[in-house]
């Protein structure tokens, strides 16, 4: 089966979800582009968009239409060539309309999982729950006569476990997109010792067609991305709890969030990132990873407690941030959760005294937005972190320790055999988490 | 000419679009009505009373598609109640629509059906994304060529011309001239607060230009986006008047410019240009207008030319006879068209720097020449030598199809 043939019958499971909808969009566009090639004229391409929620699928189709229009507008020069033989498609808008139609006509939104029985390729993006994933993939494969390949988007479950329990014999691999898949360039690719080499090659070709950066991760729970993020988050939580021994909890959260964002020049502070991913999701991923970890306990009672309080973070269907550790109004942080009193304390009540305690940002500081665009990162971050190490204030001291710990997490991922090399860890954090510099560096030595 | 013609009381709105600080594509912006009204009122304010205006001519290219609005003559009454129940019409000739509105007003004054006519050029183009705007602007070409044309149709047309120019005279040689054209445009625009590139603060314009290599996969083969005028919303207005009209208006000749010569020339839109590296229609129109004025190009102190693309700027230098064939790039690269050069051109930025609200451009050019010759150009003012009291405009519609050339003399 050629690359093009493999993409003639595809299914996406969990297609209306946050990750599934992005995977569906990218795959639909890739399939449509292949279908436009002269040698594929007359062939049928089908993309089954499978989800439990009818409402979600309706929303998915709206999302697809809007996104495909944007994609088409950006490649109209190419589309005019593809539709050169269609005499009645003259103006750009006519060509764009036709392309949107050609993408959408491939997609079959459905709640019927049985439609995956005819697929040659199945993307799995259901809830991060191993047993559920296994159950669904097993059922599909038992009914699918095509020796289908399964690409799971799991961010934490070891692939060999899914492979063994669902009886997939080398026909499943981890193809982990970052959120949102349509924007994020990174894909973590995880294979098992039994993985079919043709399937791996197909995965690389498919990633290339989607213009993704592929980082191979070994098949250890959490892989590289969550391997770093979960430990980094746990460190931030524990640092905050440490600080909370001498001051209110909410102040401690504020301090660590600020240190990890401003002092460390990251796109968001660690507590905002946990809220963004979802406290429930972080708790769940730790739970998935923890049994596979030797000599460490990837668990936070604080997250359990927040969940009991119903504080979950995550996003509204509109994309707006829900409250978690922090409270958000129009995207800005306005308050911090007080775990004892179980309500939010306005930032303005304590921010200035906290800021004073942290002290000034080290000299040469550039905010993340500007720093991320610098081409010669070393010449900026070298002196910046040097100044940080010299600075005698709480913020700088916490940040240096934080940076050292982040570096250590990265190096451990390599020594544990999760990542093949330092560079892979850094690529994941730079492209998947938009860090301005890799966690493995010389700045905090 | 049977009688003397003058222009006076020019007014420009801002040229709004990317580059202006106040431009936000996601926010609602002023519409067609606002621009017509602002430009018209800006003129009327200078004469005190719209009653002295006998006729309105509105130049516009594609409001019917950009704004779903035709019948623009009906907006004269929006400028001033006293323009209602008088002659008012709109004229169209693609990006030369503004020039045609001047010519139309001039004809009315020459015919004696008006002593004073107001010419307003207007276009509001930011209503659609550039990729759809390209469809609309492609209407300036022959529609039967649209299917085989580029997604960005007009950039495609001039990219083809640039490609031939590179082949004949050398890529680096040509780009050096086009680069200087771009640099001049931005530097001049910085001097005019209404210019679209007025806020442009890029320190190394030439360096930026060199970095942006033409890329046919994303845009057109032989031009980058800096070679192109931008998408603009804007309007300009000016009065066309007889000598008697000026007296009625109470405007001294020193605050007016005299029309010394003019030409309106059109080539067959269904044919390809005779020579891809020559703007033949511009050449013919310029010759005709200069002949009518009885002067040579050396007596002209400044020219506003139609640089919808940098290559059009270079080719128009050749069409005007300022440089020989293939020597335009060198002429520009040497600084001759800069504001302190031998022939200052587009002193408020031209289409690339000031902006290109398509239907307004011809009128904007006339306003700029009026400002320069009457000493009203503010920071952008250049010296007009006593032995060269002339200015000139070249307004082009389509790919060198409709051209309006006007020679102005200090009043």
pLDDT tens for residues B138-177?
Answer: 999 999 999 999 999 999 999 999 999 999 999 999 999 9
Task: Let me know if residue A366 belongs to a domain.
Answer: yes
pTM reported for the whole predicted model? 0.90
When scoring A91, A94, A95, A211 by the number of chain B Cβ atoms within 10 A, the one with the most, hence best to mutate, is: A91
User: Three-state DSSP class for B91?
Assistant: strand
Contacts of B218 in chain A (CB under 8 A): 77
What is the sign of the dihedral through the CA atoms of B24, B152, B221 and A36? positive
Residue in A329, A334, A361, A359 with CA at minimum distance from that of residue A349: A334
- Mode of pairing for the β-strands spanning A121-124 and A9-13: parallel
Task: Let me know if residue A444 belongs to a domain.
Answer: no
CB contact under 8 A, B131 and A73: yes
Report DSSP letters for A78-115, one per residue.
HHHHHTTT-TT--SHHHHHHHHHHHHHTTEEEES-GGG
User: Three-state DSSP class for B269?
Assistant: coil
How many Cα atoms within 13 Å fall on the side-chain side of residue A346? Answer: 2
In this structure, the answer to whether residues A347 and A377 fall within a common structural domain is: yes
Task: Provide the number of structural domains found in chain A.
Answer: 2
Q: Which domain holds residue B22?
A: 5-129+231-254
Q: What is the pLDDT of residue B51?
A: 97
Q: Specify whether the CB–CB gap between A95 and A112 falls below 8 A.
A: no
Task: Let me know if residue B93 belongs to a domain.
Answer: yes
Q: What is the pLDDT of residue A128?
A: 87
User: Scanning every residue of chain A, which has its alpha carbon at the shortest distance from the alpha carbon of B221?
Assistant: A77
Task: Let me know if residue B357 belongs to a domain.
Answer: no
The CATH number of whichever domain residue A293 belongs to comes to 1.10.1040.10
CA distance A321 to chain B (A): 22
Contacts of B145 in chain A (CB under 8 A): none
Residue numbers of chain A with a pLDDT score lower than 70: 317
Nearest to A91 among B146, B152, B219 (CB): B146
Mean pLDDT of B76-96: 98
CB contact under 8 A, B131 and A78: no
Task: Let me know if residue A170 belongs to a domain.
Answer: yes
CB contact under 8 A, A73 and B129: yes
For chain B, what's the residue count?
411
Nearest to A76 among B138, B146, B151 (CB): B151
Residue in A369, A368, A365 with CA at minimum distance from that of residue A391: A365
Q: What is the ipTM of this complex?
A: 0.92
Q: What is the pLDDT of residue A316?
A: 78
Contacts of B62 in chain A (CB under 8 A): none
Q: Specify whether the CB–CB gap between B241 and B256 falls below 8 A.
A: yes
Mean pLDDT of B80-106: 98
Mean pLDDT of B286-306: 98
Task: Let me know if residue A78 belongs to a domain.
Answer: yes
CB atoms within 10 A of CB B258: 21
Q: Residues near A55 by Cβ (< 8 Å), separated by ≥ 6?
A: none
pLDDT tens digits, B360-376: 999 999 999 999 999 99
How far is the C-alpha of A344 from the C-alpha of A253, rounded, in Å?
A: 12
Task: Let me know if residue A443 belongs to a domain.
Answer: no
Omega within 30 of 0 (cis) for the link into A141: no
Residue in B42, B58, B49 with CA at minimum distance from that of residue B91: B58
In this structure, the answer to whether residues A208 and A64 fall within a common structural domain is: yes
Task: Let me know if residue A297 belongs to a domain.
Answer: yes
Q: Exposed/middle/buried for B308, CB within 10 Å: 0-12, 13-18, 19+?
A: buried
Nearest to B131 among A76, A78, A87 (CB): A76
At residue B2, does pLDDT exceed 80?
no
Residue in A407, A128, A76 with CA at minimum distance from that of residue A288: A128
In this structure, the answer to whether residues A194 and A310 fall within a common structural domain is: no
Q: Exposed/middle/buried for B184, CB within 10 Å: 0-12, 13-18, 19+?
A: buried
Contacts of A76 in chain B (CB under 8 A): 131, 151
In this structure, the answer to whether residues A208 and A244 fall within a common structural domain is: no
Please identify, among A163, A184, A216, the residue that sits at the C-terminal boundary of a domain.
A216
Mean pLDDT of B400-411: 96
Contacts of B132 in chain A (CB under 8 A): 92-93
Give helix B130-137 / helix A92-104 axis angle, nearest 10°: 130
Q: What is the pLDDT of residue B411?
A: 82
Task: Let me know if residue A212 belongs to a domain.
Answer: yes
- Mode of pairing for the β-strands spanning A332-338 and A326-329: antiparallel
**Residue A87 contacts B where some CB pair is shorter than 8 Å:** yes
- CA A271 from chain center: how many Å? 16
In this structure, the answer to whether residues A280 and A173 fall within a common structural domain is: no
CB contact under 8 A, B147 and A78: no
How far is the C-alpha of B94 from the C-alpha of A33, rounded, in Å?
A: 36
CB contact under 8 A, A92 and B218: no
Q: What is the average pLDDT score of chain B?
A: 97
- Helix boundaries (H) for B321-411: 328-333, 350-353, 361-374
Task: Determine the Cα angle at B294 with ends B388 and B110, to 5°.
Answer: 105
**Residue A114 contacts B where some CB pair is shorter than 8 Å:** no
Task: Let me know if residue A438 belongs to a domain.
Answer: no
Least confident segment among A176-180, A186-190, B58-62, B222-226: A176-180
How far is the C-alpha of B158 from the C-alpha of B139, rounded, in Å?
A: 15
In this structure, the answer to whether residues A201 and A251 fall within a common structural domain is: no
When scoring B62, B135, B154, B215 by the number of chain A Cβ atoms within 10 A, the one with the most, hence best to mutate, is: B135
User: Three-state DSSP class for B235?
Assistant: strand
CB contact under 8 A, B131 and A91: no
User: A-B interface: how many C-beta pairs under 8 angstroms?
Assistant: 30
Strand partners, A172: A150
Q: What is the pLDDT of residue B5?
A: 98
Residues in B whose CB is inside 8 Å of some CB of A read: 129, 131-132, 134-135, 138, 143, 146-147, 150-152, 216-219
The CATH number of whichever domain residue A157 belongs to comes to 3.40.50.720
Task: Let me know if residue B404 belongs to a domain.
Answer: no
Nearest to A91 among B135, B150, B152 (CB): B135
Task: Let me know if residue B273 belongs to a domain.
Answer: no
Please identify, among A153, A183, A216, the residue that sits at the C-terminal boundary of a domain.
A216
In this structure, the answer to whether residues A38 and A181 fall within a common structural domain is: yes
User: Scanning every residue of chain B, which has its alpha carbon at the shortest distance from the alpha carbon of A88?
Assistant: B147
Q: What is the pLDDT of residue A157?
A: 94
Residue in B34, B43, B12, B13 with CA at minimum distance from that of residue B118: B43
Nearest to A92 among B134, B216, B219 (CB): B134
Task: Determine the Cα angle at A247 with ends A241 and A250, to 5°.
Answer: 65
Task: Let me know if residue B125 belongs to a domain.
Answer: yes
How far is the C-alpha of A239 from the C-alpha of B173, rounded, in Å?
A: 63
**Residue A70 contacts B where some CB pair is shorter than 8 Å:** no
CA distance A109 to chain B (A): 30
CB contact under 8 A, A87 and B146: no
Mean pLDDT of B312-338: 98
In this structure, the answer to whether residues A71 and A21 fall within a common structural domain is: yes
Which tokens is B159 given? 């990219």
Q: Which domain holds residue A426?
A: 225-432
In this structure, the answer to whether residues A194 and A133 fall within a common structural domain is: yes
CB atoms within 10 A of CB A114: 13
User: Three-state DSSP class for B57?
Assistant: strand
In this structure, the answer to whether residues A41 and A141 fall within a common structural domain is: yes
In this structure, the answer to whether residues A102 and A234 fall within a common structural domain is: no
The CATH number of whichever domain residue B12 belongs to comes to 3.40.47.10
Backbone angles phi, psi at A234, to 5 degrees: -60, -40
Which tokens is A107 given? 């997609």
Please identify, among A185, A216, A247, the residue that sits at the C-terminal boundary of a domain.
A216
Task: Let me know if residue B36 belongs to a domain.
Answer: yes
For chain A, the straight-line distance linking the first and the last C-alpha, in angstroms and rounded, comes to 51
Q: Residues near A224 by Cβ (< 8 Å), separated by ≥ 6?
A: A188, A215, A217, A413, A418, A419, A424, A425, A428
In this structure, the answer to whether residues A235 and A129 fall within a common structural domain is: no
- Mode of pairing for the β-strands spanning B116-124 and B55-59: parallel
Find where tokens 């299914």 sit: A11
Task: Provide the number of structural domains found in chain B.
Answer: 1
């Amino acid at each position: 089966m050629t690359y093009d043939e493999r993409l003639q019958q595809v299914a996406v499971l969990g297609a209306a979800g946050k990750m599934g909808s992005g995977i569906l969009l990218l795959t639909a566009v890739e399939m449509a582009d292949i279908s436009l090639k002269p040698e594929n004229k007359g062939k049928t391409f089908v993309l089954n968009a499978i989800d439990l929620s009818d409402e979600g699928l309706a929303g998915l189709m709206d999302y697809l239409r809007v996104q495909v229009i944007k994609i088409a507008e950006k490649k109209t020069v190419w589309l005019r060539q593809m539709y050169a033989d269609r005499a009645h498609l003259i103006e750009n808008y006519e060509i764009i309309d036709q392309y949107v139609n050609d993408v959408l006509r491939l997609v079959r939104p459905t709640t019927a999982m049985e439609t995956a029985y005819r697929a040659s390729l199945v993307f799995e993006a259901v809830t991060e729950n191993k047993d559920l994933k296994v159950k669904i993939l097993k059922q599909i494969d038992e009914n699918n006569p095509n020796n289908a390949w399964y690409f799971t988007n799991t961010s934490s479950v070891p692939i060999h476990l899914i492979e063994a329990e669902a009886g997939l014999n080398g026909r499943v691999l981890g193809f982990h997109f970052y959120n949102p898949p349509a924007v994020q360039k990174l894909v973590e690719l995880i294979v098992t010792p039994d993985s079919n080499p043709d399937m791996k090659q197909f995965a690389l070709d498919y990633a290339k067609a989607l213009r993704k950066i592929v980082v191979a991760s070994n098949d250890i729970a959490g892989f590289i991305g969550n391997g770093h993020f979960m430990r980094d988050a746990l460190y931030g939580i524990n640092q905050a709890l440490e600080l909370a021994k001498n001051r209110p909890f909410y102040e401690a959260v504020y301090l660590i969030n600020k240190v990890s964002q401003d002092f460390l020049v990251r796109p968001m502070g660690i507590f905002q990132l946990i809220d963004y991913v979802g406290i429930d999701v972080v708790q769940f991923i730790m739970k998935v990873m923890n049994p596979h970890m030797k000599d460490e306990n990837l668990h936070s009672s604080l997250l359990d407690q927040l969940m009991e309080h119903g504080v979950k973070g995550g996003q509204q269907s509109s994309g707006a941030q829900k409250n978690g550790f922090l409270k958000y109004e129009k995207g800005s942080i306005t308050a911090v959760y007080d775990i004892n009193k179980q309500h939010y304390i306005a930032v303005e009540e304590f921010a200035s005294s906290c800021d004073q305690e942290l002290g000034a940002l080290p000299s040469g500081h550039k905010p993340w937005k500007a720093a991320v665009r610098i081409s010669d990162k070393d010449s900026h971050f070298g002196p910046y972190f040097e100044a940080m190490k010299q600075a005698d204030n709480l913020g700088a001291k916490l940040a240096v320790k934080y940076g050292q710990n982040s570096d250590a997490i990265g190096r451990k991922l390599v020594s544990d055999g999760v990542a093949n090399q330092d560079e892979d860890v850094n690529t994941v954090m730079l492209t998947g988490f938009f860090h301005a510099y890799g966690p493995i560096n010389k700045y905090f030595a | 000419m049977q009688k003397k013609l003058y222009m006076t009381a020019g007014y420009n709105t801002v040229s709004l679009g990317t580059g202006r600080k106040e431009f936000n594509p996601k926010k609602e912006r002023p519409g067609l009505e606002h621009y017509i009204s602002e430009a018209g009122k800006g003129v009327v304010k200078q004469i005190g009373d719209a009653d002295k205006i006998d006729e309105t001519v509105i130049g516009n290219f594609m409001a019917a598609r950009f704004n779903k609005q035709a019948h623009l003559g009906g907006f004269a009454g929006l400028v001033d109640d006293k323009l209602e129940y008088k002659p008012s019409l709109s004229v169209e000739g693609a990006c030369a629509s503004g020039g045609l509105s001047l010519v139309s007003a001039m004809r009315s004054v020459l015919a004696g059906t008006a002593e004073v006519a107001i010419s307003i050029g207007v276009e509001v183009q930011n209503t659609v994304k550039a990729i759809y705007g390209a469809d609309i602007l492609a209407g300036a070409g022959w529609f039967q060529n649209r299917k085989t044309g580029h997604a960005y149709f007009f950039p495609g047309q001039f990219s083809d011309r640039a490609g031939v120019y590179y082949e004949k005279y050398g890529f680096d040689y040509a780009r050096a001239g086009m680069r200087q054209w771009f640099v001049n445009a931005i530097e001049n625009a910085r001097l005019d607060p209404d210019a679209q590139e007025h806020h442009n603060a890029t320190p190394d314009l030439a360096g930026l230009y060199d970095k942006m290599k033409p890329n046919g996969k994303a845009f057109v083969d032989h031009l980058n986006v800096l070679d192109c005028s931008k998408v603009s919303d804007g309007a300009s207005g000016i009065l066309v008047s007889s000598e008697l009209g000026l007296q009625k208006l109470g405007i001294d000749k020193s605050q007016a410019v005299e029309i010394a010569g003019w030409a309106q020339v059109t080539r067959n839109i269904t044919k390809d240009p005779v020579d891809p590296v020559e703007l033949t229609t511009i050449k013919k129109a310029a010759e005709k207008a200069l002949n009518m004025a009885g002067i040579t190009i050396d007596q002209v102190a400044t020219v506003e030319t139609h640089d919808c693309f940098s290559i059009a700027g270079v080719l128009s230098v050749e069409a005007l006879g300022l440089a020989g064939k293939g020597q335009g790039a060198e002429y520009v690269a040497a600084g001759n068209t800069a504001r302190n050069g031998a022939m200052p051109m587009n002193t408020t930025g031209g289409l690339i720097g000031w902006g290109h609200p398509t239907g307004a451009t011809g009128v904007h050019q006339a306003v700029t020449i009026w400002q320069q010759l009457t000493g009203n150009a503010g920071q952008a003012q250049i010296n007009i030598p006593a032995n060269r009291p002339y200015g000139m405009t070249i307004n082009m519609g389509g790919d060198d199809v409709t051209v309006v050339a006007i020679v102005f003399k200090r009043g």
